Amino acid sequence: MSREKMFTREIAYTNVVAMVVDTTTAKVTNETFVVPFEENNNTKILVYLQKNVQKPDKPIVSIVSKETVKKLYGCTVEQFLTVAVELDENRRPIE
């Protein structure tokens, strides 16, 4: 049995538990979020969450904990061709 060729990539992201205040009920809870990049700086994580995830009635006020996760992902060439976006060879996006 032959193995199928796969595109692989190690992806690093940060699981974050943050303190959230519901301004309509005054209830404080800890909620889990995924930050789609690796980051150790709590201030940078907080700014990212406030800008991209926070809801008007549920401000994110502090980082309780964080954990960096690294996983290997892959897909076959066939899968890749169904979801990939073709790029101009002269203008590759910056990671």
CA 47 to chain centre: 14
Predicted local confidence at residue 21, as pLDDT: 97
Residue 82 falls inside a structural domain: no
Residue 80 falls inside a structural domain: no
Per the confidence metrics, is the pTM higher than 0.95? no
Q: Which domain holds residue 28?
A: 10-73
Residue 27 falls inside a structural domain: yes
Residue 87 falls inside a structural domain: no
| Total tally of structural domains belonging to the chain | 1
Here the tokens at position 59 are 């401000």
Predicted local confidence at residue 86, as pLDDT: 84
The rounded distance, in Å, linking the Cα atoms of 73 and 9 is 5
Assess contact for 38 and 68: CB atoms under 8 A.
yes
DSSP E strands in the chain: the ranges are: 6-22, 27-35, 60-76
Residue 42 falls inside a structural domain: yes
Residue 91 falls inside a structural domain: no
| Of 15-24, 47-56, 74-83, 84-93, minimum mean pLDDT range | 84-93
